[in-house]
Structure 1
Amino acid sequence: MESFKDILPRHKTDDDRVEMIKKMDRDKILPLLPGLLEWIQDINWPVAPSVLELLLTFPEEVVPHVQDVLSSDDDNWKWYILHFLVIELPVESRVQFKEYLTRVAETPTQNELEEELDEIAKEILETI
């Protein structure tokens, strides 16, 4: 079998690979979720919207991988994750981020304030 790196997009405009992944069996896509999340580190990348669309078809499965991103130091990536992925997930998935969102909304770090993560956290909390 191909390695995950052979399947994932190779560059910011690699929509062909995303379309190929969309046609795969769901169980074969699951191990790709962490790698796919990396392609929404910047929603301005041409491949990001199609990756986002794919990730949203795995609302429960993507939760632990999103939690990994939210526990990282990349506040810019967190902004994209919250604004374009978490807020679009079904409420059953969004509620799993309640502890993190509450902390960011109530006691954001200086970096979280600068990235306006507290604002999006409040917005998402209003929906759960």
Structure 2
Amino acid sequence: MHPETSVVPSDKFDLAAANAAVEAGWPAIKPSADRLLQWVQDANWPVAQVLAPALATVGAPLAPYVRRVLAGEDETWKYHLIGTVVAQSQELISALRPELERIAFFPTPSERAEEVCDVAREALEQ
């Protein structure tokens, strides 16, 4: 099995891969960062509950990957990513402050509708 494959869950119940990613840690999971962030699209997924706290501990090095999600149009993913990963890391909050401020104070209509602006504001208030 390819090393990257073993740390990227194959479905929302693949806790073995999620735990392998946590155990491998940063920078070992760096090549898989974009794909691992996909598994925090819904905070209710079992793999998200394992991955989100671990990804938050990465801090600033994760910011470029998170920034790509925040620049996209998947508001549900933004909401869960900010709430479960970004808001749990002062380093990420600092590194992503311009993006968080834009979402919090100048949200798009869809960001407002999905309450992404609220979770961004809460992260900034920490």
TM-score by length of 2: 0.88
Alpha-carbon distance in 2 for matches of 1:106, 1:25: 34
Shift, 1:28, TM fit = 2.0
CA contact (8 A) 2:60 2:95 kept: no
Q: Between Structure 1 and Structure 2, whose CA radius of gyration is higher? A: 1
Shift, 1:70, TM fit = 0.2
Query: Residue 61 of structure 1: SS of its match in structure 2?
Result: helix
User: Which amino acid is 1:104 matched to?
Assistant: I
Shift, 1:88, TM fit = 0.3
**1:102 equivalent in structure 2:** 101
Change (3 A) 1:51 1:25: closer
Q: CA RMSD in A?
A: 1.8
User: Which amino acid is 1:59 matched to?
Assistant: G
User: Which amino acid is 2:10 matched to?
Assistant: R
**Is 1:59 matched up with 2:53?**
no
How many aligned residue pairs are there? 126
Shift, 1:3, TM fit = 5.9
Gaps of 5+ in 2: none
Alpha-carbon distance in 2 for matches of 1:7, 1:124: 28
TM-score by length of 1: 0.87
Gaps of 5+ in 1: none
**Is 1:48 matched up with 2:36?**
no
**1:89 equivalent in structure 2:** 89
Shift, 1:93, TM fit = 2.5
- 1:39-60 alpha-carbon deviations (Å, 9 max, x no partner): 0001111111101122123112
**2:115 equivalent in structure 1:** 116
Q: Which moved more, 1:51-60 or 1:78-87?
A: 51-60
Alpha-carbon distance in 2 for matches of 1:4, 1:10: 12
Which portions of structure 1, spanning 4 or more consecutive aligned residues, are displaced by more than 4 angstroms?
A: none
- 1:48-105 alpha-carbon deviations (Å, 9 max, x no partner): 1101122123112211100010001101100001111111012x32112211122222
Alpha-carbon distance in 2 for matches of 1:125, 1:6: 35
User: Which amino acid is 1:73 matched to?
Assistant: E
Change (3 A) 1:3 1:115: same
